[in-house]
């Protein structure tokens, strides 16, 4: 699989990257052996970048990924995790936010133990917009400064954020010397706003990681999980787009994946699965350009929800 430079980080990442949220049962029940086999299949397919977070499954995603990567030569993969957001493993959505230096350092130690490593190529400050942005100032100051210190200490390679709101992305790109940016749900069929970050990314050498090609499940035949905030009217719009694709002889998932992975200036697109069959399906779609006429038809249907904020 093709590898691309991730901005000026010095890292080369595979054009497809593996988001490990699914490994912790964030979306549905997961068979651990199947999840581990899926990670191994991704490595065999040439995927070299794996991302996770302590918030995913309350640490379960990190634990399963750590089991999968045990014994794999560390030079074979790029690894990132996140800090600042911690989720009750038994109650999805019950989050604690803490961007203090002490908690970030403790979190890094906990993640390192679960993942079996003493070094992370990238650390993302996670979901600073949650809880009404009440922790934003701490994240952008103490939290960010702590990661810069950890980088100087050699414990991490690159400093990044993993957040949703576009206004915060523009602020971060303008004000902070980030190395990378994990931008989710903003380069997909219904939302291409991350392209507005590309000029500043080129100027500053920031590597953009494009996540959620399926728009958190909205651009799939199954539809999003119950916890997704999209209401019935908006969900109906996405179902209409899926039906249009089906009548055209393809699936909304395939079109969404091919569209999201097709931007020449985006180093890598991240998707999540705990299923080998799902991984193989995505790999079979990858590299084939999206049908431009079908994209235009789908985007016309999605016009009422284009660029809509779900956060």
The SS3 assignment for 67 reads: helix
Q: Which of 56, 164, 187, 244 is catalytic?
A: 56
∠ CA(259), CA(38), CA(63), 5° rounding?
110
Count CB atoms within 10 A of the CB of residue 307. Answer: 12
Q: How far is Cα 21 from Cα 59, in angstroms, rounded to an integer?
A: 10
304, 237 Cβ separation under 8 angstroms:
yes
Of 71, 48, 68, the residue nearest 1 (C-alpha): 48
Q: How far is Cα 201 from Cα 186, in angstroms, rounded to an integer?
A: 15
280, 41 Cβ separation under 8 angstroms:
yes
- Whole-angstrom CA distances from 72 to 8, 69, 78 are 26, 5, 12
Q: How far is Cα 74 from Cα 58, in angstroms, rounded to an integer?
A: 24
Q: How far is Cα 58 from Cα 96, in angstroms, rounded to an integer?
A: 11
- 31 CB-near residues (< 8 Å, 6+ apart): 274
Tell me if residue 164 is catalytic.
no
The DSSP bridge partners found for residue 275 are: none
Give me the active site residues, please: 56
């Amino acid at each position: 699989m093709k590898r691309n430079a991730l901005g000026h980080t010095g890292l080369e990442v595979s054009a497809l990257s593996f988001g490990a949220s699914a490994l912790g049962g964030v979306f549905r029940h997961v068979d651990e052996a199947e999840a581990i086999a899926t990670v191994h299949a991704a490595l065999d397919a040439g995927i070299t970048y794996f991302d996770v977070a302590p918030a995913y499954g309350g640490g379960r995603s990190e634990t399963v990924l750590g089991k999968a990567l045990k014994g794999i030569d560390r030079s074979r993969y790029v690894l990132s995790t996140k800090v600042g957001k911690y989720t009750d493993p038994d109650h999805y959505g019950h989050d604690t936010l803490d961007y203090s230096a002490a908690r970030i350092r403790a979190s890094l130690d906990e993640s390192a133990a679960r993942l079996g490593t003493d070094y992370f190529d990238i650390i993302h400050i996670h979901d600073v917009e949650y809880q009404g942005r009440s922790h934003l100032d701490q994240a952008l100051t103490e939290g960010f400064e702590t990661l810069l210190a950890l980088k100087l200490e050699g414990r991490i390679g690159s400093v990044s954020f993993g957040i949703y709101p576009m206004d915060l992305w523009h602020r971060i790109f303008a004000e902070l010397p980030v190395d990378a940016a994990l931008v989710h749900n903003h380069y997909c069929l219904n939302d291409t706003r991350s392209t507005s970050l590309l000029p500043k990314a080129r100027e500053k050498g920031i590597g953009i990681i494009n996540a959620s090609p399926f728009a958190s499940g909205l651009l799939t035949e199954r539809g999003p999980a119950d916890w997704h905030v999209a209401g019935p009217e908006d969900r109906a719009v996405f179902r209409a787009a899926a039906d249009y694709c089906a009548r055209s002889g393809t699936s909304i998932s395939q079109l969404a994946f091919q569209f999201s992975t097709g931007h020449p200036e985006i180093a890598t697109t991240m998707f999540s699965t705990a299923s080998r069959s799902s991984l193989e399906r995505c790999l079979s779609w990858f590299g084939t350009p999206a049908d431009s006429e079908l994209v235009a038809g789908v985007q016309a249907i999605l016009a009422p929800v284009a660029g809509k904020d779900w956060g």
